[in-house]
Structure 1
Amino acid sequence: MAKPSGSTSIAVHETEREPFYRRLFARSGFGFAALDAEGRIIEANGTFLRSFGVTCLSALPPFPDCVSPRDSAVLAFAMRPSLAEQAPWELRLQRPDGGEFWVLASFVEPPALPGEPVAPALIVQITDVDERKRNALELAERESRWNHALESAGQGVWDHDFARGDLFYSRQWRAIRGLRPDEPIDSSLEGWLQSVHPDDRAHVLEEIRKQETGQTPFNVFCYRERHKDGRWVWIESRGAVVDYGPDGKPSRIAGTDTDITERKEAEERLAQMSRRLELALDVSRIGVFEVNLRTGDVRWDDRMIEMYGLTGEPDEGTWERALHPQDRRKATARVSDSLFQSQDFANEFRIIRGDGQIRHIRGRAAPYVDMTGVPHLIGANWDVTDDMRLREELQHAKDLAEARNAELEAARARIEYTALHDHLTGLPNRRFLDATIEAAAQEARRSGSRLAVLHIDLDRFKEINDTLGHLAGDQMLVHAAGVLNELKGPGDFVARIGGDEFVFLSTGSAGRNLAMLAEAIVSAMRKPVTFNGHICRFGASVGIASQSGEAIDAKQLLVNADLALYRAKNRGRSRHEFFTSDFQAQIIVNKQTADEILTGIEQQRFLPYYQPQFCARTLDVVGVETLARWDHPTRGILAPDAFLKIAEDLDCVAMIDRIVLEKSLADYAGWRALGLGIEKISVNVSSKRLHDPELARSLHTLAIRPKSLSFELLESIFLDDCDRIVLENLAEIRKLGIDIEIDDFGTGHASIVSLMKLSPRRLKIDRQLVKPVSRSPGQRKLVGTIVEIGRSLNIEVVAEGVETPAHVAIMRDLGCDILQGYALARPMPAEAIADFVRRQEWRQPGGGARDLQNEVRRAAGG
C-alpha cells in the first residue's frame, strides 16, 4: 500500500514481510535513517525528519551533505566499514535553513536476515545533544574566563589616581623589583626611568604617552627594569583607564605588572631549541607534516615536498596517491586505527615519487587536539631506502629462524654479528679484532709460528669526504674493504677499526712476503674509483709489525704497527714501513731527546753561533749569520740537524728562535760597544714562524736597532702565493727596520715577479750552486746570471758555501757582494768573535785567506 504524501511512517509492501530495521524505525524514540552505498537517505523515521525540521525525505540531501563541513573529515572516518560500529561519534548536522545542531551518531551495517529483502548499506542512529553540547561549550568558556581571572592573582598592582595625586603600588609590585614593602619609591617619571633598560626607555615613554593621553584605554607592553640586586627583570605591564577628568583625559589609570623573566628566558630557550631542531631536521633530512582532521587541510615542509618529488603544494589526497599500490591498504589502515585509538604510531611504506622513483619511507605521527578542539595529526617522514636492504636481510634471517623454530638463536646470532662487525663495510670491527688477535697470539705462542699485523690508513680520504660528501667517503671505505678482502688469504683476518683505518692480520706468515703484500695493498688502493661521475683517487700507508715464539704480545704488536704506520706517513705516504728494534730504539731516543729539548728551553741552553760574512772586494768583516746551537749537558754543542725535527714535532721551534734572537741581539750590542765594525746580523726565519700571527707583537718587545738585523727566508717557502698573515708579518718586519734576505736562492720556486714584489735586501746563492763553479763553466754562467738578476733589481748577492780560495776568487769576479764559508771563517761562539776580528786570522801568513787578500789587492790596482 502506498505511503500518503507527507507522512512520516515507513511504506511497507503488503506482498513482502516488513524488514526488522523498519520495525525498529517505527518503534524507536531515536532518530533512525537507512543509507545506501552512496550515502543517500533511502528511509527515515519521524524523529529523524523532525530533527531536521522537514516532513519528507525529498527535503534532505545525501547524508554526508547533512553534516557540517567542519565535521566532514570526522564523518569520513566514522562511515568507514572498519570504524562504523565503534562508539558514537559527536557530529554537527545542518538543517536545510543552514542551522546546525549537535548529535551523537552511530553507524551500523545491518545484517541480511533469512527471508528479508536486501538490507541498506548502513543504518545511522542520531541522538539530539545540541542543548547539552552548547551548555558544555558555554560552561567551558566561562571556566576559561574564570581561570584567566585566577591567573591574574598575585600580580603586582599599581593605581595612579592623578586627580587625587595618589600613587599606589602593591606588595607584589614591590617584590617583583626586590623592594621591601615599606621601602620608599621615587615615583617621578625621571627617577623611575633610570631603572628602565636604556634600550627600552623610548618604547616605554611612548606607551605611557598613549595611556595618559587616552589614545589607548587599555594597554599592554613589555620592558626590562633593573632589580634591586642589579640584574634585569622583564616586566609585562597591563594598564586600563578607570576614570576620565572633565577635560576628557584619563584621570585615573590602574593595572598590573607581571614578572615575565622566566617566560622570556623560556621563549629564548625555545627559540634556540627551535633553531637547533630546524638545523637537526635539515641535516637529518627528516620531513614534517600536519593535517587538520576536521577540514582536511594539509601542510608539508620543504623536506617532505622534496622527499615525495612534488612540484606543487600537497592536498588532502596527495599522500594516499603517492603510496605504492601494494602498501596502500596497510598504510592507510595503520593511520585509521591509530586515529581511532588517539595514540601515536609508527608507519613504514613505499611511495612512488613524482619522477617515478620508488622510495622506502619510515614515519611517526601523533594525533592531538588544538586549543579550539580541532583534531590534528602531526608527524615526520624520513627516507630509509638505503637501510631497507639490510632490513630485508634481517627479515629473511628472521623468517628462516621462525621456520626452523629457532627465533631466539637467530636473533642472538644476528646481534652478535652486529656487535662484532662494521655496519658500513661488513668487516669485523675493533672488538672482533681484539678477540681474534689474542687468540691468534696464543696459537702462535703454542705452535711457534709468526704473527704479523699490517696497520693500514687511507691517504687523501679526508679530502674526498670534504669535497664530495660522506656518501663518497663511504663508497671509498667499501671499496677499500673489498680490496683487502680480495688480498686476504685463508689464514688472514681483515678488520676496520675506525674512520679510514684497517688492520690486516696474517697468521702463520713465516713463508709470506709481507713487503710484497703491503706493496700489493698500496698499489691496489692507488687505482681510481668512480663515484657519481667523479674520479676519486686515494692511497694507503702501511705499518708492519711481526713477532714469533713465546714473546708474542698482541697488544704490543698493534702498537708497533701503528708506530710503523706513523713513520710511513712521515716519509711521504703511499708506502710501507716495518717496525724494527732500531726503530724502537729510535723512538726511545726521540722521546729522551724531546724531554731534553724542553729542559734545554727552560734552562736557556740554546745559544747562537756566528759565521762571519766578508766583503768580496776587501775581505773586511761586514756581518755575521746567526746559527742556532744546543749546548747539550753531555753531548756538547749540537747543530740543528740533531734537534730541529723533534723540536718541530714538539711545536717549540718558535721558542728556540726567540731565545737565539734575544741572545744574538745582546751579543751584537756588545760588539758595537767594542767597535768591531760588525754592522749587521742575520737570522733564519722558518715558514711556521712567518705564519705566526703573534710574530709582529713579539718583535715589538725587542730592542732592535734599524738596519742592524736581517731575516733570512728560505726560498722554498718564498712562493708567489702568500697568505694574509705572512704578508702582514713581512710588512711589520720592514716597519721595524729589519731587512729581508732570500736564503738558498736557486733551489726553490720563487719567480722573478714575486722577487720584485718582495724586494729583499739580499739574495744568498745556495752552496749547491757555488760548490761546482771551480770546475763547471756552465755552473759559473748560472751563478753569474743570478748575480746579474740581483744587480738589475738593486739586490746585494751573498755567496755561501765558499770553501776554497778558488771559490773566493771566482765569486768575487762574478760580481758577488758578500762571501761566507769555511775558506774564510767557520761558525764560532759569541765570545770568539771579538778575538777573531781583532787578530784578522783570515789575513795571516800560511793561510789561503792572505793569498786571496793579495790577489784582491792586485786586482784592485793596489
Structure 2
Amino acid sequence: MAKPSGSTSIPVREADRAPSHRHLLDRSGFGYAAIDGQGRIVEANAAFLRPFGAAGIADLPPFEEAVSPKDRAVLSVARQSRLPGQTPWELRFRRADGSEFWVLASFIEPPFLPGGEDGPALIVQTVDVDERKRNALELAERESRWNHALESAGQGVWDHDFTRGDLFYSRQWRAIRGLKPEDPIEPALESWIKTVHPDDHAHVREQIRRQETGEAPFSVFAYREKHRDGHWVWIESRGAVVEYGPDGKPSRIAGTDTDITERKEAEERLAHMSRRLELALGISNIGVFEVNLRTGESKWDDRMIEMYGFAATPDDDAWEAALHPEDRARARERVAQAVAQRRDFANEFRIVRGDGEIRHIRGRAAYYVDLAGVPRLIGANWDVTEDVRLQEELQRAKVLAEARNRELEAAKERIEYTALHDHLTGLPNRRFLDETIEAAAVRARENGDRLAVLHIDLDRFKEINDTLGHLAGDRMLMHAAGVLNALKGPSDFVARIGGDEFVFLSQGSGGRNLATLAEEIVEAMRKPVLFEGHVCRFGASVGIASQSGATIDPRQLLVNADLALYRAKNRGRSRHEFFTSDIQAQIIVNKQTADEILTGIEQRRFLPWYQPQFCARTLDIVGVETLARWDHPTRGILAPDAFLKIAEDLGCVATIDRIVLERSLSDFAEWKALGLGINKISANVSSKRLHDPDLARSLRSLDIQPKSVSFELLESIFLDDCDRVVLENLAEMRRLGIDIEIDDFGTGHASIVSLLKLSPRRLKIDREIVKPVNRSPGQRKLVGTIIEIGRSLNIEVVAEGVETPSHVAILRDLGCDVLQGYALARPIPAAAIPDFVARQEWRSAAGNVCDIQAELRRSVAR
C-alpha cells in the first residue's frame, strides 16, 4: 500500500513500541481490530474478541468470513467509503457455531509507520449493539403483529398528540370512511363534525369534550358518519388518554374506530321484529310462558296472568292448579310425553279461573336446551272459549240441518234419476243404459230377437289428455260421440258409461253385421282430429257380445262384452273381438289358476330349480341359474309359462321372485358348507320388479354375500330409458355386491354405448343365436364377434342352448367363458345338486348328450 507523504505511523504490531497506546486499546469498551492486506485479522482487543467468544486472534477467521453472508454486500460498500467522520455501519458478525450478533462498525485507514515498515491495511472499530438491535427488531415485530391484528379485526387506529400537533390515522381508519391513503384529513373539529349525522352532533361533541378535558380517561361511544360515497356508516369509537401534560390535562389521546353498521342494522331489525311480535301477541291475546324443566321455575307474561285470572305473579304450580279437574290428567300426560320425547306439541284443555269461570285454552310449546345446557319449555296459550262455543252452536245447527236435508236429499235423488244424459257429449249415461238394456232384453225375449252389446274403449286417449290437457280430451270424447251417433241406426242405442268408455246397443230381428259395424267404428276412430293446431290421433278397441231368445241376460251381456274388450286390448288394440265360450272357459281357468297361485304363495309352494353353468375350458361347475318352479299339488312341477302371465296380472311376480331368491340363498349356503365349488347363483329380474321402489329395501333384508349373486336383466329391459327408480335399484344392487348380467343378448337392439353405460358383469348369448353354430359358419362368426366384444369390454360371456358335444367344442374354441345347456345339464332341484356334482358325469357326457340326459332324468326321479 502506498504511503502518503508527511504521514505519521502508529506502531500497532509490537506492544513494546507503543505501550501506553496499546494499554489504552486493551481497556477500551470499543472493539478494535487490525486487518492486513490479505484480509486477515492481525490484532484485536478484548472488546472485539469477547462477542465472538474467542480467546485470541488465532480463533478468528479472515475478516470477511467473520461477517454474516447477509451483510457482506454492505461490507464491500463500507470499505470503499472510508472517510473521516463517516456514520458507523450496522453489521452482523458470525460466531464459530453459526450464531450471529449485531455491531456498529467504523472502518479507518491508518497512517503508515516511519522507516517504511508496513502497518495494518485497515482498522475496524466496533460497538456491541446486539441486545439493543434485537430489542428493536422484537418491538417492530410486535408492532407489526398488533397493526395486522387491528387491520384484520376491521379496526382503524387514530392517535392525537396535541403536544407535537401530530394527528395519525391508520389505513383501516380511512377505509371505514371510504378515504384513500393519500386523502388529506381536516384537523379542525368544526370541519370534521360536518361529516357526522346531524342527530349525533351534540352527542359526539360531548364525548370529545370529556376526552380532551380528561373527564373521561377512557370512553366508548357510537355515532353515524357519512361515507365518501354518501351513505351513513355507524362507527364505534374507543379512546383513552395515554399521556398528560404538565398542567395535568391530556396531551395525547389514542384509540380505535370500528364499523358497526351491520350490527346496528341487525339490532334495528331485531327491535323491529320484537315490536311486531309484541304487537301481534297483544292483538291476538296470546300469552307466552317459559319453564325451567330442571328447577320447575316458570315465567308468565302479563297476558298469561290475565288469561288465567290471577291477581299477582303465579307460583310454579299455578298452571296445574288452574286445570279443570276433568282435563288435568290428560293435559299433564301430554306435557310429560312431549318433554320425554323432546319434541314440540299442542295441547287443549279447560281452566277454572279464580272467579270460577271455565275457559277453553289452546296452547303450543317447544322443547329446547339453552346455552347453559338447561332444558326448557317455551310456549304460548290463547283463549279459544268463544271459538269452542261457536263450534258447539254450529254442530247443533249442523245436526238440525242434516235432519231437515234428508227430505231434500230424497228429492234430489229423484231429480238426479231423471238426469239420464252425459253433460259433455249429450249421450245417455250409464243409468239410462241400464234402463234401456233391461227394456230391450224384455222385448228381445218376447220377440225372439237378437240383442248385441259393443263395449268401446278409446285407445291412447290418456296420452292426449295428459299432453294437451282436459279440454283436448273433452273434444276427443265429443268427437267419438259424434262418430258413434253417425253410425247408429234407428233401433240402436249409444251411451257413454264413464271416462273414455262407450256402449253401442244393437237390437232388432234383422240386426246388423256386428263385425262390419265394429270395423266401421274402429276405422272411423282412427281418423285424425284437429285441435287448436294439433293433429290428434287415437283409436278404439271393441268387445262384442250378443244373445237372443229367452236366455238373454242384459247384465251378463255387458260383462261378456267387457271381457271381449279386455281380450281385444291385450291382442294389440284398435281391433274387435267377439265373446266366445273359449274366453269364458279361459276366464274360469285363469280364475282357478289365480286362486291356486295365491294359495301357493301362502303355502310357499314356489321353489327354485337350478341349471348348472360350466367353465368352457375346464368343464368345472362354476355356478347355477335359478329358475322358478311351481310345485302344484295336482299338476306337479310347473314351469313359468304355466303361471307367469296370470301372476303378472295379479301383481305377485315380485313376491314369487322373493320367495325363490330366499330359498336359493339358503340352498347356496348349504352348498358352500358342503364345498361343492358352486361359487355363484344367478336369478332373473323382471322389468316390473326393477321399477319397484321397495326392491332395494327388500334386498338389504336378505343375507347376500358380495359377488355370490347376479341378477339377469333382459336385453329389452336395459335398453329402455331407465327412470330414477331403476337407476337407484341398479346402484343398490352394486352396493350390495350383486353382479348384473344381460340375458338373451342378441335378441334386442343393444349398442356398445348401452353396454358401456350399464357395465354388466356378464352377457348371456341367446340360445337361438347359439343353436346354429354347429352348422352355420356365419352364425359361428356372429357368436365369435359377440365373444370378442365381451372380452374387449372385460365382460364374461355365457352361452345358453348348448345342446350337443359339438356346441361345447365350438364355443370353447371361440373363447366363450361359460356354457349352459342340455348337453351338460338340465334344470334340476336343489336336492339333486350334491349328487350331480359328486358324480361329475357331465364331463364324459359332453361327448354323449343322450347318456347324460338319461342320467339327469334318473337323478331327478330319485
Question: 8 Å contact 1:622–1:679 — kept in the other structure?
Answer: yes
- Partner SS, residue 572 of structure 2: coil
Q: CA deviation at 1:754?
A: 2.0
Q: CA deviation at 1:695?
A: 1.6
Question: 8 Å contact 2:543–2:577 — kept in the other structure?
Answer: yes
Q: What one-letter code is carried by the residue in structure 2 that aligns with 1:691?
A: H
Q: CA deviation at 1:810?
A: 2.5
Q: What one-letter code is carried by the residue in structure 2 that aligns with 1:821?
A: G
Structure 2 equivalent of residue 733 of structure 1: 733
- 1:185–1:737 CA distance, 2 compared to 1 (3 A): same
Structure 2 equivalent of residue 580 of structure 1: 580
Q: What does the per-residue CA deviation read over 1:695-719, in whole Å, with 9 as the maximum and x for residues that have no partner?
A: 2222222222221111111111102
Once residues 713 and 169 of structure 1 are traced to their aligned partners in structure 2, the CA distance between those partners, rounded to angstroms, is: 67
Once residues 783 and 598 of structure 1 are traced to their aligned partners in structure 2, the CA distance between those partners, rounded to angstroms, is: 42
Q: What does the per-residue CA deviation read over 1:28-77, in whole Å, with 9 as the maximum and x for residues that have no partner?
A: xxxxxxxxxxxxxxxxxxxxxxxxxxxxxxxxxxxxxxxxxxxxxxxxxx
- 1:170–1:651 CA distance, 2 compared to 1 (3 A): closer
Q: What one-letter code is carried by the residue in structure 1 that aligns with 2:488?
A: K
Q: What does the per-residue CA deviation read over 1:382-409, in whole Å, with 9 as the maximum and x for residues that have no partner?
A: xxxxxxxxxxxxxxxxxxxxxxxxxxxx
Q: What does the per-residue CA deviation read over 1:441-499, in whole Å, with 9 as the maximum and x for residues that have no partner?
A: 12222222221100001111122122222221121111111111222223221111122
Question: 8 Å contact 1:178–1:227 — kept in the other structure?
Answer: no
- Partner SS, residue 419 of structure 2: helix
Once residues 170 and 618 of structure 1 are traced to their aligned partners in structure 2, the CA distance between those partners, rounded to angstroms, is: 87
Question: 8 Å contact 2:525–2:540 — kept in the other structure?
Answer: yes
- Partner SS, residue 617 of structure 2: coil
Q: CA deviation at 1:846?
A: 9.9
Once residues 490 and 745 of structure 2 are traced to their aligned partners in structure 1, the CA distance between those partners, rounded to angstroms, is: 56
Structure 1 equivalent of residue 682 of structure 2: 682
Q: CA deviation at 1:581?
A: 1.3
- 1:535–1:418 CA distance, 2 compared to 1 (3 A): farther
Range with bigger deviation, 584-593 or 835-844: 835-844
Question: 8 Å contact 1:525–1:538 — kept in the other structure?
Answer: yes
Q: CA deviation at 1:676?
A: 1.4
Q: CA deviation at 1:629?
A: 0.4
Asked whether 1:185 is paired with 2:309, we answer: no
Asked whether 1:505 is paired with 2:635, we answer: no
Structure 2 equivalent of residue 701 of structure 1: 701
- Partner SS, residue 692 of structure 2: coil
Asked whether 1:838 is paired with 2:844, we answer: no
Question: 8 Å contact 1:614–1:623 — kept in the other structure?
Answer: yes
Structure 2 equivalent of residue 604 of structure 1: 604
Structure 2 equivalent of residue 802 of structure 1: 802
Asked whether 1:789 is paired with 2:772, we answer: no
Q: Which ranges of structure 2 fall in alignment gaps of 5 or more residues?
A: 1-282, 288-298, 319-331, 336-345, 352-359, 365-379, 392-414, 853-862
Q: What one-letter code is carried by the residue in structure 2 that aligns with 1:633?
A: P
Larger Rg: 2
- Partner SS, residue 737 of structure 2: coil
Q: What one-letter code is carried by the residue in structure 2 that aligns with 1:822?
A: Y
Structure 2 equivalent of residue 769 of structure 1: 769
- Partner SS, residue 489 of structure 2: coil
Structure 2 equivalent of residue 635 of structure 1: 635
> Alignment identity in percent?
78
Q: What one-letter code is carried by the residue in structure 1 that aligns with 2:419?
A: A
Once residues 843 and 227 of structure 1 are traced to their aligned partners in structure 2, the CA distance between those partners, rounded to angstroms, is: 83
Q: CA deviation at 1:176?
A: 4.0
- Partner SS, residue 420 of structure 1: coil
Q: What does the per-residue CA deviation read over 1:280-322, in whole Å, with 9 as the maximum and x for residues that have no partner?
A: xxxxxxxxxxxxxxxxxxxxxxxxxxxxxxxxxxxxxxxxxxx
Once residues 226 and 442 of structure 1 are traced to their aligned partners in structure 2, the CA distance between those partners, rounded to angstroms, is: 64
Q: What does the per-residue CA deviation read over 1:733-778, in whole Å, with 9 as the maximum and x for residues that have no partner?
A: 1121111100011112332112112211100011121223333333
Once residues 797 and 542 of structure 1 are traced to their aligned partners in structure 2, the CA distance between those partners, rounded to angstroms, is: 47
Q: Counterparts of 1:416-815 in structure 2 under 5 Å?
A: 419-508=419-508, 512-719=512-719, 721-815=721-815
Question: 8 Å contact 2:484–2:521 — kept in the other structure?
Answer: yes
Once residues 584 and 594 of structure 2 are traced to their aligned partners in structure 1, the CA distance between those partners, rounded to angstroms, is: 15
Once residues 361 and 623 of structure 2 are traced to their aligned partners in structure 1, the CA distance between those partners, rounded to angstroms, is: 66
Once residues 545 and 587 of structure 2 are traced to their aligned partners in structure 1, the CA distance between those partners, rounded to angstroms, is: 15
Question: 8 Å contact 1:177–1:226 — kept in the other structure?
Answer: no
- 1:782–1:548 CA distance, 2 compared to 1 (3 A): same
Once residues 724 and 417 of structure 2 are traced to their aligned partners in structure 1, the CA distance between those partners, rounded to angstroms, is: 53
Q: What one-letter code is carried by the residue in structure 1 that aligns with 2:747?
A: T
- 1:155–1:707 CA distance, 2 compared to 1 (3 A): closer
Once residues 433 and 233 of structure 1 are traced to their aligned partners in structure 2, the CA distance between those partners, rounded to angstroms, is: 55
Question: 8 Å contact 2:719–2:754 — kept in the other structure?
Answer: yes
- Partner SS, residue 682 of structure 1: strand
Q: Counterparts of 1:204-223 in structure 2 under 5 Å?
A: none
Question: 8 Å contact 1:843–1:850 — kept in the other structure?
Answer: no
Q: What one-letter code is carried by the residue in structure 2 that aligns with 1:492?
A: D
Q: What one-letter code is carried by the residue in structure 1 that aligns with 2:462?
A: K
Q: Counterparts of 1:154-173 in structure 2 under 5 Å?
A: none
Question: 8 Å contact 1:764–1:799 — kept in the other structure?
Answer: yes
- 1:735–1:507 CA distance, 2 compared to 1 (3 A): same
Once residues 618 and 286 of structure 2 are traced to their aligned partners in structure 1, the CA distance between those partners, rounded to angstroms, is: 96
Q: CA deviation at 1:813?
A: 2.5
Asked whether 1:828 is paired with 2:837, we answer: no
Give me the TM-score of the superposition, normalised by structure 2: 0.52
- 1:790–1:232 CA distance, 2 compared to 1 (3 A): farther
Once residues 286 and 658 of structure 2 are traced to their aligned partners in structure 1, the CA distance between those partners, rounded to angstroms, is: 66
- Partner SS, residue 682 of structure 2: strand
- 1:262–1:638 CA distance, 2 compared to 1 (3 A): farther
Give me the TM-score of the superposition, normalised by structure 1: 0.52
Range with bigger deviation, 501-510 or 433-442: 501-510
Q: CA deviation at 1:423?
A: 2.5
Q: What does the per-residue CA deviation read over 1:641-667, in whole Å, with 9 as the maximum and x for residues that have no partner?
A: 111111111111111111111111111
Once residues 258 and 598 of structure 1 are traced to their aligned partners in structure 2, the CA distance between those partners, rounded to angstroms, is: 56
Once residues 509 and 814 of structure 1 are traced to their aligned partners in structure 2, the CA distance between those partners, rounded to angstroms, is: 71
- 1:824–1:510 CA distance, 2 compared to 1 (3 A): farther
Q: What does the per-residue CA deviation read over 1:215-272, in whole Å, with 9 as the maximum and x for residues that have no partner?
A: xxxxxxxxx999788x97469xxxxxxxxxxxxxxxxxxxxx994446899999xxxx
Q: Counterparts of 1:94-493 in structure 2 under 5 Å?
A: 176-177=307-308, 185-186=315-316, 233=362, 259-261=382-384, 419-493=419-493
- 1:670–1:183 CA distance, 2 compared to 1 (3 A): same
Question: 8 Å contact 2:362–2:381 — kept in the other structure?
Answer: no
Once residues 448 and 347 of structure 2 are traced to their aligned partners in structure 1, the CA distance between those partners, rounded to angstroms, is: 82
- Partner SS, residue 453 of structure 2: strand
- Partner SS, residue 740 of structure 1: strand
Question: 8 Å contact 1:605–1:631 — kept in the other structure?
Answer: yes
Please give the root-mean-square deviation of Cα atoms over the aligned residues, in Å: 4.1
Range with bigger deviation, 613-622 or 547-556: 613-622
- 1:799–1:418 CA distance, 2 compared to 1 (3 A): same
